Each structure stands twice: as C-alpha cells, then as structure tokens.
Amino acid sequence: MANLLGVVLFALVILISVSLHEAGHLLTAKAFGMKVTRYFVGFGPTLWSFKRGETEYGIKGIPLGGFCKIVGMTPQDDDVEEADQPRAMWRYPVWKRTIVMSAGSITHFALAIIGVWFAAVSMGLPNPDLPTNDEQVRKEPAVIALGECVVPENVARECTPADPASPAAQAQMRSGDRITSLNGTSIGNYGDLLVALRAAAPGSTAEIGYVRDGQPATTTATLATTQRPPLDDPDGPVGPAAALGIGLRLTTPQMVTYSPVDAFGATAEYTGNMAVGTYEAMKRIPQKVPALWDAITGGERDMDTPISVVGASRLGGEALANDAPEVFLLLFISLNFFIGVFNLLPLLPLDGGHIAIAWFERARSWLYARFGKADPGRVDYLKLMPLTYAVILVGGAFTLLTITADVVNPITLFSR
C-alpha cells in the first residue's frame, strides 16, 4: 500500500511541476501583452473549466501533462483573429519570445534548485567527499560489509543456495569490523586488503586481525575461490582468486546536512554536478537503446539505462515504501532538472526549437542588413514539419521503449 501511495504521489508532483511549466509560459506571455486563450492541466475531454478575462482555465481527463495556448506562436498560425494580430506572439521582439519559451524550463530549474536547498538543510545531500573511483575506494579504511556468500564467477548477482557461504561470516566476523592484518601482513586500507587476498591461495586458511568496537581481535577463515581480473588491469583475463565474502563499508557519511546559509553553496555545487551528469547522460542515450531492448526481451536491466516517468514514479513509490524520503526528493529534483534541459534542445516541437528558430531569424536578418539585402522574413514552419514529425516519431518510440522496460523489467533501488 505504501508503495502504491508513493507511486501516485510521485506521479502527482510531476504533474504539478509540468502544470507549473505551462504556468511559466502563461505568466510571462501575459506580462508582455501576448494573448493567451487557454491554460489546461491534462489532455483529452474537458472535465471542468472556467473563463477569466480572455483566458479559459481548466482540467482535462487525461493527466499526462498540460498546455498553454498563446495566440500566433508562428506566422503560419491560421487561427489568429484580425483584432489579435498585433498581439500575436511571433510579432514580439526575439528576447521577449525567448523569455516566454524558456519560462517552462526555468520553472523546472527553479523547482529543482529549491528542492536541492530544502534537501541540503533537512535530509542532506550526497557527500561530495565519497569515493567515486577504484583509486579512492582503495584508500578507504578496510571496514567490511559482510556478504552472504561468495559468487564463484566474475559477475555481480544475488546469492543462490549453490554458492559457498561467506568465509568471513563463518568466522563470526560482522559488518563494521575493520581488518588490520591478513596472514601477518599489516592492512592499512581496503587496497592493502585486496592485495593481501590476491597473495593468498584459494582454499587456504587465513589468519585475520580486526578491530570491533575499538577492541582488537583475531580469527581464522578458510578462503573461498572466485574469479577475478588482475588488480592493475580490471579488463584483463580473469583467474582464480581467494575471497573472504566481504565488501567495503564506507565510513564516510553518505549524506551531509547544511545550515541554511551553507546550503546555498552546497546547492550551487550540487546543481553544477547535476548539470554535468545530465549532459553526460544525454550523450549516452543512443548507446543505451540496445540495453533497453535487451531488458525488455529478458536480459538484466542495466541500472544506467534511461527511465520514463512511469519508472521514476515506481522508484518514488519504492523510496517511500522503504522509508527513504530523501531518495524520493532527489528523484524529483533530478527529473525536473532533466526535463528542463531536455526541453531546451534546439528541436521542434520542443521549446528549444522555437527559441533556436527565433534567434536564427534574428541572426539572418542582421546578416542580410549588413550586406544591404532585403530582410528574408520569417522561417516557414510548414517546411519544417517533416523534421518535426521525425522528432515526434523518434521521441515517441523512445518513450514507448522506456515505458515498456519500466513495466516489464523495472529498475529497483532496494533489495526485494
């Protein structure tokens, strides 16, 4: 029940953020004097509406977004009444049109930034000092996270009854123990532990020194056998290696809270990192299409594959069901930021496509004037319709692909 409520709640906050996106267009257009005839939440049949001034506001039956109708967005719009011609959007200066068309994305960015600041002072943000690569991980103290088993092959998967039990568990070790020696070799960090394990023979008995709750202790464990590549060549050939059935338990706090003042700096840093991460994720989208198809046809779902609003809502529900509201909030933040960036791509029918055309017209007019030529006028949107339809087709196919993957093989953040 908690999961279902979380799914519904996450879908609702996304619908609200999309409605605020359209409200950004509405308010800026009205502020500049453009005529806005309709503002609706949802699509399809009208459930309820009212008219105030020249604008009709309402709710439609399919809660999958919203829209804001601004008169005369393009010169080719044929539904502009003669009295409204001076207020047609395309007649306004390019900077005003840019503000109106970017207002939706700016709203998403504002929601994301406010959310980051709120998370920073309440639930905390991911610690920027957490190790992010193998070199940093190996410098961490050798504090262990106890595993249930040893997976004999070189893959990451859940334990099965056929897998050998964790030698460290059989030796009565616990998560949180810090290993200080292995077979007489001093262990200063997790990297030292990996080196010492590679030097040990699979199946041999290891003498282990460790510290628990500040008290030193020793134990022995019969090392299991697994397959691993060389430590200095993660892509190299795998071979037999000794294993304790443990992982690294980070001692660095994963989340950090800030004072209201310090939260501004943390928000700026987190937002900058989010911008870089979003850019990198968008570059990888074409590469992830085969992985999405593989997930649909029975393969394992890659955690790094794109998700739809359906998948994000499922993760939001999962977060609340597992008492992790910070995950819910960070999902909301990252999704809003991604929508804001995606919507500014210079492709029709996205807002970024309209902005790109407006500035192209402005640059072309300036260039023609410099050479003493007549202004070529406005771009004919009708000639761009084949490209627009192609973008819609590709975008629709990709959306369907991600939704299908999120239904038949969803990403999960918590153990089932």
DSSP reduced 3-state for 364: helix
CA distance 163 to 323: 31
Catalytic residues: 22
Query: Pick from 335, 214, 327, 322: which is nearest to 274 by CA?
Result: 335
CA distance 290 to 244: 36
CA distance 218 to 208: 6
Q: What share of the chain is helix, strand, coil (3-state, %, to 5)?
A: 50, 20, 35
| Alpha carbon separation from 390 to 41, 83, 88, 349, 385 (Å, rounded) | 26, 35, 27, 10, 8
- How far out from the chain centre does Cα 75 lie? 37
CA distance 214 to 295: 46
Residues 321/2, Cβ–Cβ less than 8 Å: yes
88: which 2 tokens? 């047609």
| Alpha carbon separation from 78 to 32, 74, 380, 386 (Å, rounded) | 22, 9, 13, 19
